[in-house]
Amino acid sequence: MNLELRKLSVNERLQKLVAEGIISQEQADLLGKEGPLSIEAANKMVENVVGTHPLPFALATNFKINGKDYLIPMAIEEPSVVAGACNAAKLALPAGFTASADEPVMIGQIQLVQVPKPEDAAKKIIAARKEIIAQANSCDPVLVKMGGGCKDVEARVLDSPRGKMVVVHLLVDVRDAMGANAVNTMAESITPKLEEISGGKARLRILSNLAVKRLARAKAVWTKKALEESLAGKGVELKGDEIVDAILDAWAFAAADPFRAATHNKGIMNGVDAVVVATGNDWRAVEAGAHAFASINGKYSPLTKYSKNADGDLVGEIELPIAVGLVGGATKTHPTAQIAVKILGVKTAKELAQVIAAVGLAQNFAAIRALATEGIQRGHMSLHAHNLAVAAGAKGAQAEKIAAQMIAEKKVNAQRAKELLLEVK
């Protein structure tokens, strides 16, 4: 639809939508309502703003990572994700998670086409490595002073559908930033030099979201005992070692089958994205990196790995690229993102990446533990029933009563919620 919105104020945009019959005045009032992210701030972040779009902001408890206790902010609309993370973290206590992360090194790519002798050019670029690094670093002295900056240069010759091209990688330590701005500026600044060395023409100059130099890892052990106790009173008769085996089978399914691996990794990203969003980071970047990394060996695979230790307990591990920052972008301009970082208490982007990796592992464990034992629906059902009751018009205790009744009857649907609401009224 061709609506001229760009030059209007937020209020004028809303009135235009009402005038065009796209939304009602009531909906315009709701959209334009002030929230923690003010309309004015939102209007400075992106174009054509007509409101803000809040998500539930929750805190995951029980996380101990590298011996430190964390309260973890999660912004997510999906029921059971936060509960799953809390529960998985609790079952990993008292040891909790161990986690590590690489230095925050991002890759900036410069594509060179029409290079007369591509292999020679790649060699010449590597030979001029020091000069290239110095020139790239001259555009960000502050980053260099903080210990970051361009650290290395790589060059590859690629066979593409349009012939050979030389692709140069600048490896840039971006410290506590996500890094897109610093890397893109460096990549652009170094282009004339690379054209001169290679004799070719530069095309794209942009960071890669496949941040393989910026991996984060987490590990936890879930004991047979803790696993068995977690099912107590849930009507599922499984011994601890049977649960360990069931979870290993669930993981092996993902390792063998990309159809399952996609869903397995989606469960990981439920946790990862929720923290990435809460802290104002770019979740599309983290998603792109995670899925590209999942297929880096040619087959789309799970981002986690499970095994049994000498005691027969379950060991879970995760490794994935996590390009997140604490400075720049929405991490600084979004007020609730700033509060999230404060609650989390992380001091560096590296620490944030470790926390996110631990949450991803916890989330995955929670999902496959439920799937391999009691099934996922039981946990989902009570929240789903509550949502249906609210959608039918029930409020507060009334909604809880209707949800409980639907679960007891095993009839959890919108029609039944409406009927029960009429009965209650």
For 106, residues 6+ apart whose C-beta sits below 8 A from its C-beta are 171, 172, 174, 179, 180, 182, 183, 207, 208, 211, 213, 214, 323
- Distance, in Å, from the CA atom of 168 to the CA atom of 179, rounded to the nearest integer, reads 18
Is residue 279 within 8 A of residue 331, CB to CB? The reply is yes
- The residue (of 240 and 267) whose beta carbon lies closer to ligand MEV is 267
Please say which residue, 59 or 376, places its beta carbon nearer to ligand MEV.
Answer: 376
Query: What stretch of H or E contains 379?
Result: helix 377-392
- To ligand MEV, the closest distance from the beta carbon of 243 in angstroms equals 16
Question: Positive or negative CA dihedral for 376, 384, 81, 106?
Answer: positive
Count of Cβ atoms closer than 10 Å to residue 134 Cβ? 11
Q: Are 376 and 315 in contact (CB under 8 A)?
A: no
Stretch that binds ligand MEV, among 65-73, 266-274, 326-334, 400-408 (CB under 6 A): 266-274
Q: According to the binding rule CB under 6 A, does residue 74 interact with ligand MEV? A: no
Choice from 367, 388, 406, 417 touching ligand MEV (CB under 6 A): 367
Clarify whether 78 is annotated catalytic: yes
Candidate segments 21-29, 293-301, 317-325, 368-376, binder of ligand MEV by CB under 6 A: 368-376
| The one segment of 152-160, 223-231, 284-292, 366-374 that binds ligand MEV by CB under 6 A | 366-374
Neighbours of 56 (CB within 10 A): 13
Query: 151 or 380: whose CB is closer to ligand MEV?
Result: 380
Distance, in Å, from the CA atom of 331 to the CA atom of 329, rounded to the nearest integer, reads 5
* Range in contact with ligand MEV (rule: CB under 6 A) among 259-267, 305-313, 321-329, 353-361: 259-267
Phi and psi at 318, nearest 5°, equal: -135, 145
Sign of the alpha-carbon dihedral angle for 304, 265, 97, 106: positive
Residue 193 is a binding residue for ligand MEV (CB under 6 A)? no
C-beta of 267: minimal distance to ligand MEV in Å?
3
**CB burial readout 252-283, b (16+ within 10 A) else e:** ebbeebeebbeebbebbbbbbbbbbbbbbbbb
User: If binding is defined by CB under 6 A, does position 83 make contact with ligand MEV?
Assistant: no
Q: Which stretch binds ligand MEV (CB under 6 A): 47-55, 207-215, 338-346, 367-375?
A: 367-375
Member of 175, 213, 219, 264 binding ligand MEV (CB under 6 A): 264
CA 315 – CA 8 distance, rounded (Å): 56
If binding is defined by CB under 6 A, does position 263 make contact with ligand MEV? yes
Instruction: Fill in the DSSP letter of residue 360.
Output: H
161 contacts 134 by C-beta, under 8 angstroms? no
Interface with ligand MEV, residue 150, by CB under 6 A: no
| Among 16, 164, 266, 418, the one annotated catalytic | 266
Interacting residue with ligand MEV among 23, 248, 371, 424 (CB under 6 A): 371
Residue in 73, 149, 179, 267 binding ligand MEV, rule: CB under 6 A: 267
376 forms part of the interface with ligand MEV (CB under 6 A): yes
Q: Which residues are at the interface with ligand MEV (CB under 6 A)?
A: 78, 263-264, 266-267, 270, 367-368, 371, 376
Residues with catalytic roles: 78, 266, 282, 380
